Structure 1
Amino acid sequence: MTEPLLAGALAEEATKKSGLIWVRGADGGTARPLWHVWHEGAAWLVGDGPVEQPFPEGLAAGARAEVSVRSKDKGGRVVEWTALVEEPAPRSEAWEAAVAELKGKRLNAPDGEGVVERWAAECRVLRLAPVTAHTELPSGSLAARPVASPATTREPVPDALPRLLFRRKRRR
């Protein structure tokens, strides 16, 4: 009985302290880092607008999402939890309360005080309510393979590089 309670408390505290959470939609695609705010027992997100963060595929009202929370100092995974995605109607009471919190955390908004109007017209505000928390983390890295790109090709190391890097200063 205490294990689910402790896991839920760990998920809440870790999410509150983290600046970003990694969210994977219902389709099981790639997880995206999203800034959020913890408000009234859930993580709230704003995005999918022309200037705001893009949400991962499959993040829709009524769907489930997987949330991974990482440590602020070391970057390692602390906890993962499953969330139920809710999308309150713009200008509803819950929406207004969450947007007031989100507005305070939004850095460098291009329209300053008009951000709330823009969010109501162009963006989606989502509530990720925790359903279950998983304290047993996977043993693998879960790192995605890099996308193929000509920028990732390696050239041989120039012959003079080791001499330049490891040249000792001569004593006089």
Structure 2
Amino acid sequence: SIDSVQNPPSEMKLLVLLSLFLVTVYGISPELETLMKTELKRMGTECMAELSVSEDDIEPLLKHSPPKTYEAKCFLACINKKSGVQDSSGKVKSADDFLEKIKLMDEDYYTKAKHIVDVCIVDDHNQDDECETANSLYTCVLEEKSKLGLPMISLD
């Protein structure tokens, strides 16, 4: 379990994390893109250190592919918990607050993000293992973004 890495989610952390999964290059200001990259790298660095995850473990994630190791799945759970997508017990949480903020920023993006959230951020993805829950969420988001033709943001 990675309960020891749980931090109370702030609105910005929730926005940043869900953006990792939902963001498109279209319609995002360079400032917001830079902020998201910075926050994601910070959380990723923290989770790598806390979980002793290797760069090889997370390489597929950086290429927007499903994780290949259990450690990488737990890395996703760590980031999800830090940002509030999964609660302290590893269960999926609502993304309503995130969606309302997006709606104010970009109506077109909101519509696409809401579709992905409606499909992916649901209790159906909850499993007994928080790492498997995180993997199920991530895989769903990748599939839905592909169906919608939405590009992933590069963390380079």
Could you say whether these structures have the same fold, taking a TM-score greater than 0.5 normalized by the shorter chain as the test?
Answer: no
Q: State the structure with bigger RCO (CA 8 A, min sep 6), 1 or 2.
A: 2
Larger gyration radius, structure 1 or structure 2: 1
